[in-house]
Amino acid sequence: DAGVTQSPTHLIKTRGQQVTLRCSPKSGHDTVSWYQQALGQGPQFIFQYYEEEERQRGNFPDRFSGHQYPNYSSELNVNALLLGDSALYLCASSSPSGGTDTQYFGPGTRLTVL
């Protein structure tokens, strides 16, 4: 049973560029959440997708957007990158509709903005 997968593993971009990160949920999971983790901090909730719609959103600007596909995989897009966007981006999947609120995390994408 494949767990949550994310790509790419590492990414280096320059200020002003745009980036797309990808996530495939654990088999049987229909809900994907994205988190940003700065160095030395706990993860911060960005947003959550369910049935291809954004269901919840944290305190992140509109530069952060996402998408969920019919196969439940998801993308996180960040436009107009800032130095402060450098962080580990984590994807988590769960299946609340299946009675499982437990969130399982992927290995993360480490984004560096120069």
Partner 1 sequence: GIQVEQSPPDLILQEGANSTLRCNFSDSVNNLQWFHQNPWGQLINLFYIPSGTKQNGRLSATTVATERYSLLYISSSQTTDSGVYFCAVDAGNNRKLIWGLGTSLAVNP
| Span of 16-24, 44-52, 62-70, 78-86 interacting with partner 1 by CB under 8 A | 44-52
CA distance 30 to 19: 24
Q: By CB under 8 A, is residue 31 in contact with partner 1?
A: yes
CA distance 78 to 60: 11
| Span of 11-19, 33-41, 67-75, 76-84 interacting with partner 1 by CB under 8 A | 33-41
> Min. distance of Cβ 62 from partner 1 in angstroms?
18
CA distance 24 to 5: 5
CA distance 2 to 58: 28
> Min. distance of Cβ 21 from partner 1 in angstroms?
14
